[in-house]
Amino acid sequence: MAEPVLVQIIGAPVACATGTTDTWRGVARYVAGQLTLRFGAGVRVVYTDLFDADCPPLPEGAQLPLVLVDGAIVSSGGKISVSLIRRAIEHQHEGSA
């Protein structure tokens, strides 16, 4: 069985009136659920906080949230798009077929 496609979502806590919120972590959980419904064990979604020790190095000019699919930048900054990530995964599956 082939290794699952790795989707990495890198974010950070967002400042708000009451302190901080972990909005991107919640979005990452939603994205993981949607992608798992579509690809099952063929995808693995990992959320990493920018301040976590295991956060991968960010490419020059990257903005948060950063989404990588098997190491390739899918989006940098703005909103996290399930359909954009899905298309990148499908492209990976085509390349490995």
Domain count, the chain: 1
- Which residue segment(s) compose the domain that 34 sits in? 5-96
pLDDT at 15: 72
Q: What CATH number corresponds to the domain at position 72?
A: 3.40.30.30
pLDDT at 1: 55
Element (H, E) at 23: helix 23-39
Task: Please state, in angstroms and rounded to a whole number, the distance separating the CA atoms of residues 60 and 15.
Answer: 24
Distances (CA, A) of 10 to 1, 2, 18, 19, 96: 27, 24, 23, 20, 25
Q: What is the mean pLDDT of each run of 10 residues along the chain (97 residues)?
A: 90 80 91 97 96 92 97 96 97 73
pLDDT at 14: 79
Helix axes 23-39, 82-96, angle to 10 degrees: 40
pLDDT at 96: 65
